[in-house]
Structure 1
């Protein structure tokens, strides 16, 4: 087997920065008591100003005051880790949150679908970067070894156990994932690498250290299995972004809205499903949140489409008060059927697909302004269709023309060639519109194909009822 470890070293900071339009501005995350606030994490711009994790807020402000602050939220770290686990579920059915701030994925069984590991790894990195999370990725035959290697390497892949033992043997004891006091004791004993540690008699190690140390070493080397609980994504999506200031304009809401819909698209891809209805809540101070339901004509999961529809509706929404936070909730996640496309798409790059155009028109003109044809349970052609705001869905039947004439026209049979028929239709006796007709597919001398009928028992001419495309 091959296990990949995705280490997220700046998960708390990345979770805050991805919601800020000024991500390059200096930022520090604060923790500790109200009496003594301490910098828990800083972004590169703040580090360039001389700020470091562990500094007190007072000491940091003595250096500079040109940086923003936010709370270091432990619950948010766990929430982002679960979100990324749902994203990773698209690549592997075995995703584990066993270690904090990292994901474990069994990737050997996914290589046939996503290609060789270098290509697979590049795709993981590209999507993580697009989502706004810094990362380190390593792969090894055991999940514990993949996690330990991520402490010292990025991009390292160990394909077999022999190479794994050799690589692990060079690791310093501080990077083996052992408790800090155990690593310090081993260093004082003159043991600086795993190979030196394994050269000692096992009984001697068992007398000096707890059984957990030997169990951890056995797990690293694959001699002892690691018990993992695998993640299963929930059946709903609920995400919220708290804004840095009170927002009164629709334009300022577009950035958090785009981030929420992109997160929804990533979540749907991980669960291999779509969404047809979701709700946006715009939260205000001391006032009920503004509710904006969003509905699509079919289940979708493309980020651009999920953003386009609420964006257009947001422009027409009257805000009763400034917005403090925006929340997206999707309670129903139906199955998603990908669109059937040609191998070579000849559509110009700047043109929209029909689905995107349809949703944009519904946003601009209203939900009921865009209609499609639906089937009605009636064999009479002039009564067999109805306008409705749903997808075109016609039952299987014989050939039907795309253009139906409002009034049938007489044809000169001498200039026609009958291609198929007759197809008899007898219906409508219950509503006074009884018809008894024999239909034929005909072709004119010019090559046009039409749909014509003659009333049963009537020797009159054929009547043209429609043209085929």
Structure 2
């Protein structure tokens, strides 16, 4: 097997910057108590101003006050690592979070689907860049070796054990993941690289060092298997972006909304599922959250479509107070079935598929403004259809000719002798619900060439009654 290690060196900072409207502005993550605030990490723009991790806030502000501050929450690291594991799950069923700020995934079994490693690696990098996470990627025959090599390399691909041993042997002894005490002891002995350690007699190492040192070295070389707990994606998603300032307009919420919906689409692609309904929570400084439900008639996972639907719902909301954060919650994640498309799609480039147009209209006009028209098992024309509801639809009888336009109420046909084309067709129904009808229906053609569906009550004279028109 071949394992890819994706190292995320600035995971906490990237998670903040990707939700920031101006990621190139100076920004620092802060930690520590109120008495001693410390810069945990800084972005390149802040570093250019002279700010460094480990500085106190007082020392940083003596240099400049032109930077933003965000509190560092260690729990965010685990949350975003889980999110990226859900993203990576689309590429491999064996994804592990064994190492902090690292994803390891078995990729050899996916080469037939995603192409050889150079193509596969390029796709991983492109999607991570689109998600806003800096990274280093290394390929190796086992996950432990891939993790260690990622300390010193980016883009290295080791395909066999012989090449692996040579690459590991060149690493400094303090970069191979050994316990700190063992690494210090090797350095004091004058052993600077793993190659020098491997050249020592094994029984000598076993006598002078704990057993976990030899076990770790054997694991790196692939002589000892490594048990990893594989990630399983949850059946819900909870995403949140905290804003740096109070937002009082729904238009200003479109940037965090686009990021949240993009993350939702990446999560759904990893689970190979779609979303049928989700809720946006607008968190205010005071009072309860404003909830914006977004529902679809069928499961979808296209980021552009989901954003348009969410934006349509959001634009209808009047913000009652300034918004401090936006949260997206979804638990209705059914299986996604791609819609059927023709090989040669003759649809105009600017035209929307019916499913997307339907959902956009519902988002703009409301859930009840666009409803499906369903057939019902009833011979009476006025009862043979219904707007979408809980009653299961039926299919019209095969070979029965019916007009495409039914009048709301039948009208007398003011034409003495229309040309009869077909009929009569007798309809007798409705005795069980008190709306009994007994009619003889005819297909007629008027003097103007229009085709109509008309009837006369059984046993009665008088004019023909117009029920509908044929196209």
- Does the aligned pair in 2 maintain the 1:401–1:467 contact within 8 Å? no
- Structure 1 match to 2:143: 143
Corresponding residue for 1:272? 272
- Pairs within 5 Å for 1:181-192: 181-192=181-192
Paired position in structure 2 for 1:419:
none
Indicate the residue corresponding to 1:457 in structure 2: none
Structure 1 residue 99, shift from structure 2 partner = 0.3
SS at match of 2:246: strand
- Distance of 1:87 and 1:140 partners within structure 2: 21
d(CA) in 1 for partners of 2:143, 2:400: 60
Deviation string for 1:263-309 (max 9, x for gaps)?
Answer: 11111111111111111111112311112211111111111122112
Task: Describe how 1:100-249 pairs up with structure 2 within 5 A.
Answer: 100-249=100-249
Q: Quote how far apart the aligned CAs of 1:405 are.
A: 5.0
Once residues 435 and 155 of structure 1 are traced to their aligned partners in structure 2, the CA distance between those partners, rounded to angstroms, is 80
By how many angstroms is 1:351 displaced?
3.2
Question: In the comparison of the two structures, how many residue pairs are matched?
Answer: 451
Paired position in structure 2 for 1:69: 69
Q: Per-residue displacement from partner, 1:342-364 (whole Å, max 9, x unpaired)?
A: 22334344333322222221222
CA distance in 1, matches of 2:195, 2:442: 87
Partner residue, 2:8 = 8
The aligned residue for residue 446 of structure 2 is: none
Contact 1:145-1:220 within 8 A present in 2 as well = yes
> Shift in Å at residue 402 of structure 1?
8.8
Retained in 2: the 8 A contact 1:14–1:133? yes
Whole-angstrom distance in 1 between the partners of 2:175 and 2:55: 25
Residues 180-189 or 294-303, more deviating: 180-189
Change (3 A) 1:385 1:38: same
Change (3 A) 1:324 1:84: same
- Maintained 8 Å contact 1:429/1:435: no
TM-superposed deviation, 1:384: 3.6
Q: CA deviation at 1:34?
A: 2.9
SS of residue in 2 equivalent to 1:36: coil
For 1:46, the equivalent position in structure 2 comes to: 46
Q: Secondary structure at the match of 2:20?
A: coil
- Summarize the Cα distance change of 1:466–1:224 in structure 2 as closer, same or farther, 3 Å threshold: farther
Rate the CA distance shift 1:193–1:451 in 2: closer, same or farther, 3 A. farther
Matches within 5 A, 1:276-355: 276-355=276-355
Report 1:82-93 matches (<5 A).
82-93=82-93
- Residue equivalent to 1:81: 81
TM-score by length of 2: 0.85
Deviation at residue 329 of structure 1 after TM alignment: 1.1
Q: Deviations over 1:201-254 (max 9, x none)?
A: 112212222211111111111111111111111111112221111111112111
Report SS of the residue matched to 2:120. Answer: helix
Given that 2:172 and 2:193 are in contact with CA atoms closer than 8 Å, whether structure 1 keeps it comes out as yes
Give, in whole Å, the separation in 2 of the partners of 1:373 and 1:177: 65
**Structure 1 unaligned residues grouped into runs of 5+:** 417-422, 441-449, 454-462
Q: Normalising by structure 1, report the TM-score.
A: 0.86
- Unaligned segments of structure 2, at least 5 residues: 444-451, 456-465
Q: CA RMSD in A?
A: 3.5
Kept in 2, the 8 Å contact 1:411–1:464? The answer is no
Partners in 1 of 2:221 and 2:264 — Cα distance?
A: 39
Shift of 1:411: 6.5
CA distance in 1, matches of 2:327, 2:402: 45
Partner of 1:196, secondary structure, is: helix
For 1:426 and 1:305, locate their aligned partners in 2 and report how far apart those are by CA, in whole Å: 47
SS at 1:219's partner residue?
Answer: helix
